[in-house]
Amino acid sequence: MTTILPALCRGCVHVDRTPIGKPATWVPNRCAAYPDGIPMEILFGHDHHEPRGDEVDGLTFEEVDTDEGRRAFEAWEALHG
């Protein structure tokens, strides 16, 4: 069985949603706060509502206003909230 941890990033307005591969999917790996790559600690559950000090311009999580964004945040919050 494979377990996929919901990244807070999937529900964030700052994440790069550029599709990769075929079929077109996207994986949260870059965002405005981390253009060179989101740190693994954040991808695997770290709460990024507050600045850590290593992000560009102090950008932190900001929920995207879509159904997918809300579901992603709710999934993250259920595990980490």
Domain that holds residue 5: 1-81
Predicted pLDDT of residue 31 = 92
What the block records as the tokens of 3 is 């377990």
Claim: this prediction has a pTM higher than 0.75: yes
pLDDT tens-digit series, residues 36-50: 999 988 888 788 999
Q: How far apart are CA 24 and CA 64, in angstroms?
A: 20
Predicted pLDDT of residue 1 = 44
DSSP string, 13-61: TTB----BTTTTB-----BSS-TT---HHHHTT---SS--S-SGGG---
Cα first-last separation, the chain: 24
pLDDT tens-digit series, residues 1-38: 444 556 788 889 998 888 877 777 777 788 999 999 99
Predicted pLDDT of residue 3 = 46
Q: How far apart are CA 23 and CA 17, in angstroms?
A: 14
Q: Residue 64: helix, strand or coil by DSSP?
A: coil
Q: How far apart are CA 67 and CA 59, in angstroms?
A: 22
